Structure 1
């Protein structure tokens, strides 16, 4: 993930030492993530998906969105070790802008980031709809499942610009028009606008509506069919956490878009600082796949009951438990 091959023996010793210090700091953070955060995120994301899908009857609208986020988190977990311990880290320049490995990992990373951001955004909007209009079934589990399908499809289509960038790098000698599409800054600008600006505006609008409606108590607040009040805390925590962890990454995309392609920086220390912040922001983005399932596990009161039912079912086998309590089907709004 880091190397100082940019420097040679004729460069300033202070600049080279700065590059090595950045590499040491980044290496320590990367190892901490791979040893602690990576296995925890992998286990809890898989557990969140398995527990909820094995209890489909009791799933609510927020559960569907968090399952969607957990699946995207599993994709990030698959990309993280390759990125942090990949050829770029060992000074073999495969993690390059024109390489198949880079393009594949970039597409997977972009798709996951878009799914996480838009799932979080639509969760906040649907939660407001559920509180404002609890009997309209607009934010039902059935509708949410179809919405999540559109989220994945839209994320893949948005990442299509990276695929075009890859294709044109291989056929640019044959097709002159491809030279106009070899612009990674434009792809970063698209990701910045679609993947961050639009969700941020929508989330701020949804949170303003939610805070406004919470100040206006109505008889509907006593409706037993409404979501558990703890979901509100989980919603606020997850939205704030996602934007805190992903904002540095999208900020570096903005800087890259405004500054130009890598290698155009006026000084090597400045380039080293930018690359260090870029890699550190990617590490924060990877950590979102660990933080979200942990918050869901701690703040969702129904998760422990679903997990216990699943464990009892696995313990009893196919015959089923004779004294297993009947599952009360929740009325899904």
Structure 2
């Protein structure tokens, strides 16, 4: 309990109910979503990287998102089995582990949001000007490298505030950087506001292109129409699952976390919503690879080719070369 005064029965019952609900949600995620998300993210990465010749621009971005999803899959069990999410914690981690988990979570969130954003913008470029260098697979691979480096550098400024908020008693220089609201404001701006504006702008341009029928629509170099549905669905799901987390950051930035001046009930509700929003963010690593598996028509062909290659072993499989040519075409 955060407060020293005598607990009211209503507040105590509310705390226990919210703790039980959060524990059940965490257990359901660990039993169902975690293994499925881990398998499908790994499968998405392995299948596409083993068929590099047939990869398209969206495939590269989804592989990038899947790698970030694997990082979230590593962070999720440590957090969900800790004292913040369950009434029966297996372990309690110190400040160093907390900071490490926070670094991995923030970097993964930035990679996922910016990969989704750039996928929207590059898809518009591909729709407007097919077979251009800007939306090519080669260029996309280099862009994804910059995304990871940019995520690390971009989250560094907010990381300083988080670190100093936990070790300020050990480092004198951190005495002036104990403002956690500033760290949340930075993450809110770079991790949600900027991607949301860019995605909205890309969608406006894509819808404008779709309304204007041009001779380029018959170009064989265009991506499959199913990619457009996959793009809309994946971007929508990403923002639905990540918006509650960033809204909690916005609330913390504007009003601050409920403290001693607030009632115990408000503090309990705030902690519950904060943990629930983070649990929804973890679900993005489960939902996106499933959607990619169901909506991308080429994925099943790539998976079959990989299984045949594993079955053949070192010997070259018959008709493999013709299959590659067909998929590329």
- By the TM > 0.5 criterion, same fold? yes
Question: 1:63-93 CA deviation, whole Å, 9 max, x = no partner?
Answer: 0000000000000000000000024444699
CA distance in 2, matches of 1:264, 1:253: 20
Contact residue 82 and residue 91 of structure 2 kept, 8 A: no
Alignment of 1:148 with 2:144, yes or no, is yes
The match for 2:104 is 108
Which structure 1 residue ranges, 5 or more long, are not aligned? none
Contact residue 33 and residue 286 of structure 2 kept, 8 A: yes
The match for 1:283 is 279
CA distance in 2, matches of 1:95, 1:196: 28
Question: 1:197-246 CA deviation, whole Å, 9 max, x = no partner?
Answer: 00000000000100110000111111001111110000000000000000
SS of the aligned residue for 1:139 comes to coil
The match for 2:80 is 84
* 1:1-333 matched pairs, under 5 angstroms: 5-6=1-2, 10-88=6-84, 89=86, 90=88, 94=92, 99-165=95-161, 168=164, 169-170=166-167, 175=172, 177-261=173-257, 263-264=259-260, 266-324=262-320, 326=322, 327-328=324-325
Contact residue 114 and residue 195 of structure 1 kept, 8 A: yes
Question: 1:134-168 CA deviation, whole Å, 9 max, x = no partner?
Answer: 13321001111111111111111122135423654
**Pair 282,56 (structure 1): closer, same or farther in 2 beyond 3 Å:** same
**Pair 245,159 (structure 1): closer, same or farther in 2 beyond 3 Å:** same
RMSD between superposed Cα atoms in Å = 2.0
CA distance in 1, matches of 2:232, 2:271: 32
TM-score by length of 2: 0.93
**Pair 7,183 (structure 1): closer, same or farther in 2 beyond 3 Å:** closer
Contact residue 46 and residue 74 of structure 1 kept, 8 A: yes
SS of the aligned residue for 1:33 comes to helix
Residue 279 of structure 1, CA deviation = 0.6
Aligned length: 325
Question: 1:107-146 CA deviation, whole Å, 9 max, x = no partner?
Answer: 1000000000000000000000001111332100111111
Contact residue 82 and residue 89 of structure 2 kept, 8 A: no
Which structure 2 residue ranges, 5 or more long, are not aligned? none
